[in-house]
Chain A
Amino acid sequence: MTGAVSTPTTFAAWLKTGAARKYLGIFGWLIVLTAAEVGATQLGLGKRTLAAILILTALIKASLVALYFMHLRHEVRLVLGVIVIPILIASVFVLGLFPDIVIAARAALR
């Protein structure tokens, strides 16, 4: 096949090439972070601390997937805008729900 990159013959060798190697590295991080999440639940931490830790880890994992597996790190501005703007809008919307649903409901429960 013309134009095709000369592919390393064995699978193991191929996995050590640039892109594949990078993906496996990210995979390692994701597994480590997942294990850390499960471990954190066993430590008997306070509810709020645990929630903070888990949300932070989940965000890191999600970012790793988005940046490396979905290649957002190397994307053009248009694509970034297409996905980042909705996430911002979504955050604003959910925050807008808090006063009425969370705060008011809690006040009513008191």
Chain B
Amino acid sequence: MTTTVLDPPHAHATATGIPNLKLGMWLFLASEVMFFTGLVGSYVVLRLGSREWPDPSSILGLNVLAFNTFVLITSSVTMALGLQAARENDRTRLVRFLGATAALGLTFLAIKLLDYRHLVHEGFTPVSSLFGSCYFMLTGFHGLHVLGGVTALTVLALKNRRGAAAIDATPIEACGLYWHFVDLVWIVLFAILCLV
């Protein structure tokens, strides 16, 4: 097995030694930090500058949200294990872990949608109050990020189903970084949007 065969496009030696895809993903995450700063920061100052703010627990179903947190945290572990499998060049385990991660992401989204339906049914909508606007805006944008992640995971799982060459772990690593970041955002949202 020669190195040229192993070398996927753009995995050539880089000036910094960091693979392009990984560096690019970190840069993208830096921009995501600023994006969520815009959204979360707006929520924080709008809330602190408001006369009154409802107690979230009186509106949101905490058990459902806590379960969803559990789902997303679990998906982060399967993602991390998937990368480990990729590094050990274990194709079967990699695909299974990627699939599990995507499935957990989908579960999160499904629960989210049911939660939305319930809330709207209860009269808590994006226009019912500033809290409603913030809740649906923040969880909505987070949900879209989860959806994007699920798509990427599915594509990667399908791509890595079979092949004779060694697994290129860099795309898995980059996808994992994104997935963990989405998880991280939810951890913050869960605490400051849903619990406080």
Contacts and interface: CB of A to CB of B under 8 A. Distances in A.
Does chain A touch chain B in the assembled complex, meaning CB atoms less than 8 Å apart?
Answer: yes
Interface of A: 1-5, 7, 11, 14-15, 19-20, 23-24, 26-27, 30-31, 34, 37-38, 40-41, 47, 50-51, 54-55, 57-58, 61-62, 65-66, 68-70, 76, 78-79, 82-83, 85-87, 89-90, 93-94, 97-98, 101-102, 104-106, 109
A78 B69 CA distance: 31
B191 A27 contact: no
Nearest to B164: A1
Given A23-B80, A27-B74, A70-B180, A54 B18 contact: no
Contacts of A70: 176-177, 180-181
Contact of A87 (B26, B33, B57): B33
Nearest to B191: A58
B89 A65 contact: no
Given A34-B73, A62-B187, A70-B177, 10 more contacts: A4-B166, A5-B88, A24-B77, A37-B190, A54-B191, A65-B184, A83-B26, A90-B34, A101-B46, A109-B51
29 contacts: A4-B89, A7-B90, A14-B93, A15-B81, A23-B77, A23-B80, A27-B73, A31-B70, A34-B73, A34-B190, A50-B195, A54-B191, A54-B192, A54-B196, A58-B191, A65-B183, A65-B184, A68-B80, A69-B76, A69-B180, A78-B23, A79-B18, A82-B26, A82-B29, A86-B33, A90-B34, A94-B37, A102-B49, A109-B51
B194 to A, nearest CB: 9
4 A-B pairs with least C-beta separation: A105-B49, A58-B191, A90-B37, A101-B45
Interface in B44-74: 44-46, 48-51, 57, 62, 66, 69-70, 73-74
Contacts of A82: 23, 26-27, 29-30
Interface residues of B, number: 53
B195 A31 contact: no
Given A7-B90, A93-B37, A94-B44, A83 B192 contact: no
Nearest to B96: A11
Contacts of A7: 88, 90
A23 B84 contact: yes
